[in-house]
Amino acid sequence: MNFPLDSGSLIVLLLAGVLFGYFIESAGLNSPRKLTAQFALRDWTVFRVMFTAIVTAMVGMFALSAVGVLNLAELYVEPTNYVAQLGGGLLFGAGFIVGGYCPGTAMAALATGRKDGMVFALGMLGGVLAYAELTPEIDVWYKAHATPELTLPTLTGIGMGWWALAFVAFLLFAA
């Protein structure tokens, strides 16, 4: 089996990952205390950073689509399975609250030598391996109960540009 990226793409992706980790660490978003404070509704820094990143990506994708560089219809959208996503979200959130890390911050903590980051990363790896072993049974059920291509534009009939504008307005209002 061939990996779908060439070595140049892998270097770019590795550099992007290192930069992402550097900025997470530099901004203090790697602190389990800061991350769990988000769940206690005492510190909104992580939400603001992530929401800004999501809105930036949304606007960037819309802009690339508007100038003809990106065809949004060709992007893969994972089918929606409400039960699976609710269960996965609860499991992910519980791990996030208990461990104080998400996958990205766990890798940043591991890279800086934090022992708790290493334990969390090993637990995350164990969960990934367990899921991979259970996937054939889960996959059949997941696909049988999934709703294809559920996005805000397809759900509401409102175009992507309007959604991007609404999210930018909300971001500006919330700042």
- 1 pLDDT band, cuts 50/70/90, is very low
pLDDT computed for residue 90 by the predictor:
92
pLDDT computed for residue 59 by the predictor:
94
Is 138:85 a contact under the CB 8 Å cutoff? no
Range with the lowest mean pLDDT among 5-14, 41-50, 52-61, 116-125? 5-14
- 117 pLDDT band, cuts 50/70/90, is confident
Name residues whose C-beta falls within 8 Å of residue 7's C-beta, 6 or more positions apart in sequence: none
**Residue 41 pLDDT > 80:** yes
Give the C-alpha separation, 60 to 108, whole Å.
26
The average pLDDT across 32-44 equals: 85
Average pLDDT taken over every residue of the chain = 85
pLDDT computed for residue 6 by the predictor:
67
Name residues whose C-beta falls within 8 Å of residue 97's C-beta, 6 or more positions apart in sequence: 36, 39
pLDDT computed for residue 164 by the predictor:
93
The model's pTM: 0.72
Phi-psi region of 5 (alpha: psi -120 to 50; beta: other; left: phi over 0): beta
- 27 pLDDT band, cuts 50/70/90, is confident
pLDDT computed for residue 4 by the predictor:
57
Residue 57, judged by CB atoms within 10 A of its CB (0-12, 13-18, 19+), counts as: exposed
Closest by alpha carbon to 24, among 120, 102, 125? Answer: 102
Q: What is the pLDDT of residues 147-163, one digit of tens each?
A: 877 888 888 999 989 99
pLDDT computed for residue 167 by the predictor:
93
Residue 127 three-state SS:
helix
